[in-house]
Amino acid sequence: MNLEDLKIYTMSMEVGDKVWGIVEKWDYFKKDTIGKQMVRSADSVSANISEGYGRFHFKDSKKFNYYSRGSLYETKTWLTKSFRRGLISESDYKELIQDINTLGKMLNSYIKSIGNGH
């Protein structure tokens, strides 16, 4: 199996791209405060999944996927702040929150599977 075959990886890449597409349209102040944080945390989800995938030991793999889950929930916080401050539309917010909630469940299952023949 290749990294690109992992649904959690491809979905996390898509979330990062969606976040980027939203933030790149913001003015400098919004980008510099919330935007950079949100893009970094969203991009960190897939980056940590891939780093964990590339690790030889199961313990290391799990550790990076735990980091990924942390970044996922950090992204959720930044999205919520962005929505509450009127920076993103309700439809974009709902779509991304749904993606994050789905990814969270998928990540939990993936983490449990590591070392069990994944």
Tokens 């998928």 found at: 106
What is the C-alpha separation between 53 and 23, in angstroms, rounded? 28
Range 3-113 classified under CATH 1.20.1440.60: yes
pLDDT for res 117? 58
pLDDT tens-digit readout, 55-75: 878 888 999 999 999 999 999
DSSP letter string over 8-66?
Answer: HHHHHHHHHHHHHHHHTTS-HHHIIIIIHHHHHHHHHHHHHHHHHHT-SSHHHHHHHHH
pLDDT tens-digit readout, 75-115: 999 999 999 999 999 999 999 999 999 999 999 999 999 88
Q: Where are the domains of the chain?
A: 3-113
pLDDT for res 118? 44
